[in-house]
Amino acid sequence: MPLSDAPARPRTASAAPDDAAPDADDAAVRVRGLVKRYDGRAVVDGLDLTAAQGAVTAVLGPNGAGKTTTIECCEGLRSPDGGTVRVLGLDPVADARRLRPRVGVMLQDGGLPTGVRALELLRHVAAMYAAPRPVDELAERLGLHGFARTTVRRLSGGQRQRVALAAAVVGRPEVVFLDEPSAGMDPQSRRAVWDLVRELRADGVAIVLTTHLMDEAADLADHVHVVDHGRVIASGSVRELTSADGAGPGSVRVEAAPGLDVTTLVEALAEPGADWTAAEPEPGVYTVTGPVSPAAVAAVTGWLAERGVLARSVTTGSRTLEDVFLDLTGRNLR
């Protein structure tokens, strides 16, 4: 295999003095104070984000939160209006030529030419790298052989996504950016994609993905950044984010007849020093938050029994990532 004429590249991030940080060395992606404006409006407004090597970092956020713009700044497709972006210690715009062979990209809209056949496209992208992954093996892995000779135009959304993912990883990248990788995929495709992402992580690749799918973030991500209005509003592991103020599980969720008076539920739970809250966020669904204990669950079911109401379900445990997300970003449609 002929080697590239490009100069040897440093393996670790070489941080510039002004943005050196204690955690800088193992960060594959480091974004500090990123600002990006379109027509004067700041779409990304002082965003900080770090993604470690050998880990999956999820960027969660509602539509228009600035996720794709942030990722595109990391990919070198857009120039920041402020702040710094470093990928493998390099500037994605100024050092683009050195960075491109080491970074794999899957765009939100795919970016696949439509007139070519699926595997032909993958071979073409592979030709850009000195030592790509074997195309047939990768195609086998993602189940592309079933439509290898079908033109991209005729593929389903999920099939296109799998081709796009294959194109993103065929060059054996050290960092992979996946913008909504599971959009339009059937459950089988999603499993195949998630398995591949885990395998990349095990190989030491840094994976940064944006998603709306809470289960995707919850199942895959080592670290989650919740983005809204162009900023990161919460960061942490899924466990850190879902355990209320880090103090462990603290909620009971009850599904039963709608319209019960939740103030009496709080009274039923009352014990000295405990701070309970109860709400009916949607008709027939009650959430009780506080220091959950076996006695507390008994008190909740006792409260239902007093009213002759049969619960359809009683669930204890931490909040889901979706609860956290909706609490942070609001429940209104936008």
Partner 1 sequence: MSAAPAAAPVVRRVAAQASFETRAILRNGEQLLVTIVLPVLVLFALVRTSFVDLGTNGFSRVDLVTPGVLALAVMSTAFTSQAIATAFDRRNGVLRLMATTPLGRSGLLAGKVLGVLTVEVVQVAVICGVAVALGWRPELGALPAVVGTVLLGTAAFTALALLLAGTLRAEGVLAVANLVLVLLTVGGGVLLPAQQLAGPLAHVAVLLPSGALGEAMRGALLHGAVPPFSVVVLLAWTAALGAGAARLFRWH
What residue ranges bind partner 1 (CB under 8 A)? 2-6, 9, 11, 75-78, 96-97, 100-103, 105, 107, 109-116, 124-125, 127-131, 164, 167, 171-174, 203-204
Helix (H/G/I), strand (E/B), else coil: 168? helix
The CB-of-120 to partner 1 minimum distance in angstroms stands at 8
Residue whose structure tokens are 């190989």: 203
The one-character DSSP state at 284 is T
Residue closer to partner 1 (CB basis): 53 or 287: 53
The CB-of-225 to partner 1 minimum distance in angstroms stands at 21
Residue closer to partner 1 (CB basis): 132 or 230: 132
Residue closer to partner 1 (CB basis): 169 or 269: 169
Residue closer to partner 1 (CB basis): 100 or 229: 100
Distance CA 233, CA 229 (A): 9
Residue closer to partner 1 (CB basis): 85 or 321: 85
The CB-of-333 to partner 1 minimum distance in angstroms stands at 26
The CB-of-110 to partner 1 minimum distance in angstroms stands at 6
Q: Residue 327 corresponds to which tokens in the numbers above? A: 């609490």
CA dihedral 40, 31, 64, 81 (to 10 degrees): 10
The CB-of-151 to partner 1 minimum distance in angstroms stands at 9
CA distances from residue 250 to 27, 74, 284 in whole angstroms, order as listed: 33, 37, 20
Query: Residue 313: left if φ>0, alpha if ψ -120 to 50, beta else—which one?
Result: beta
Residue closer to partner 1 (CB basis): 116 or 183: 116
| Burial (0-12, 13-18, 19+ Cβ within 10 Å), 148 | middle
- How many CA atoms lie within 13 Å of 290's alpha carbon, on the beta-carbon side? 24
The CB-of-187 to partner 1 minimum distance in angstroms stands at 26
